[in-house]
């Protein structure tokens, strides 16, 4: 009899509809009231309902929070699992116009590729007309061009075939800022490396060859880490775990750091700086190191909070140091 009673209870179990009140995060003015929302709805579902009331705020533009000062809720979070009552109050922030990640990386990567070409082939009005469409006599200039091109082509390939993004879009204002950064630095370092008066590295071929090995090894390592992270995400949220080394030797850096993709990225640009012996490249590498360190530390803290058995030996980006 008890078994039959339990079966009846499971069959007759119902989900009480919830109400969702959406307020403007700045003014606290009520924007929308959604009644009788299925408590099994995700934040993505709620954004779609909100979009019907305000068509101009499509889901990718919306950020919904339980408190105006808290982090935005993830799209996959379920309403009934949130710390809310029968009426959930959420705060809305407009993230602004959005563009898809494919467009983002096309803009960020194709720009530096084309800009570098202009300087490499010395098109008129960049340098003296005496040097228009002439090639540099220094082999390192051609090697640097090949390395720079390879780096951004690799990024494009990874974007299309490897990366999995938790967010499908990026704010337009962020894209503009990123393009100014990547395009501007690409022009700056390309101007000096391809300049007619460019001076080759002090230690000649020895310096160039060693730096080239560093660059190529780090680029391969970076690609290997991205493949590993892609495979980890492909296993789904139910088997969520932190990344670990695989049989690929390049992934063994996971033993010491949480974000070896940033470690290898930094190493590649250090190699490029040594190869070209160019101050703008070194400055670009320094800024990249600062930004990647911020990202790596954030990821390292997230791993440490989420996984109780997370390896204590790991640092964020530089083994045993940082």
63, exposed or middle or buried, with CB in 10 Å at 0-12, 13-18, 19+? middle
Cα distances (angstroms) measured from residue 120 to each of 158, 202, 215, 221: 25, 21, 20, 27
The answer, as to whether pTM is greater than 0.85, is: no
**Residue whose token pair is 């000649």:** 204
* More confident position, 84 or 257: 257
Q: Of 75, 232, 272, nearest to 167 (Cα)?
A: 75
* More confident position, 18 or 228: 228
pLDDT category at 167 given cuts 50, 70, 90 is: low
Averaged pLDDT for residues 90-101: 84
Residue spans of the domains in the chain: they are 2-96, 102-200, 202-322
Domain 2-96 is found in CATH 3.40.190.170: no
Q: Residue 168's pLDDT is what?
A: 64
Q: Residue 5's pLDDT is what?
A: 43
Query: pLDDT, tens digit, for every residue of 214-250?
Result: 999 999 999 999 999 988 865 544 456 889 999 999 9
φ/ψ (deg, to 5) at 170 = -140, 140
As a whole number of angstroms, the distance between CA 137 and CA 126 comes to 18
Query: pLDDT, tens digit, for every residue of 21-36?
Result: 999 898 899 998 988 8
Indicate the DSSP class of residue 85. Answer: -
């Amino acid at each position: 009899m008890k078994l039959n009673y339990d079966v009846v209870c499971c069959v007759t179990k119902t989900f009480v509809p919830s109400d969702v009140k959406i307020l403007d995060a700045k003014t606290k003015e009520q924007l929308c009231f959604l009644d009788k929302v299925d408590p099994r709805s995700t934040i993505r579902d709620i954004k779609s309902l909100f979009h019907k009331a305000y068509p101009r705020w499509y889901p990718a533009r919306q950020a919904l929070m339980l408190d105006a000062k808290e982090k935005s809720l993830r799209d996959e979070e379920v309403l009934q699992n949130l710390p809310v009552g029968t009426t959930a109050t959420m705060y809305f922030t407009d993230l602004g116009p959005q563009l898809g990640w494919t467009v983002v990386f096309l803009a960020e990567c194709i720009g530096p590729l084309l800009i570098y070409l202009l300087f490499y082939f010395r098109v008129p009005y960049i340098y003296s007309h005496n040097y228009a469409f002439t090639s540099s006599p220094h082999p390192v200039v051609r090697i640097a061009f090949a390395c720079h091109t390879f780096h951004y082509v690799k990024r494009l390939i990874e974007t299309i075939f490897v990366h999995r993004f938790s967010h499908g879009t990026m704010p337009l204002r962020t894209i503009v800022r990123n393009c100014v950064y990547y395009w501007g630095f690409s022009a700056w370092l390309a101007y000096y490396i391809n300049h007619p008066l460019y001076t080759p590295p002090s230690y000649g071929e020895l310096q160039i060859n060693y730096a080239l090995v560093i660059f190529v090894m780090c680029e391969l390592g970076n690609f290997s880490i991205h493949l590993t992270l892609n495979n980890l995400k492909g296993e789904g949220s139910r088997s969520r775990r932190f990344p670990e080394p695989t049989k690929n030797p390049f992934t063994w850096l996971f033993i010491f750091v949480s974000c070896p993709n940033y470690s290898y990225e930094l190493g590649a640009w250090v190699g490029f700086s040594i190869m070209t012996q160019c101050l703008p490249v070194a400055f670009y590498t320094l800024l990249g190191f600062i930004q990647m360190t911020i990202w790596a530390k954030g990821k390292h803290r997230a791993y440490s909070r989420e996984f109780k058995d997370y390896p204590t030996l790991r640092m964020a980006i530089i083994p045993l140091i940082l």
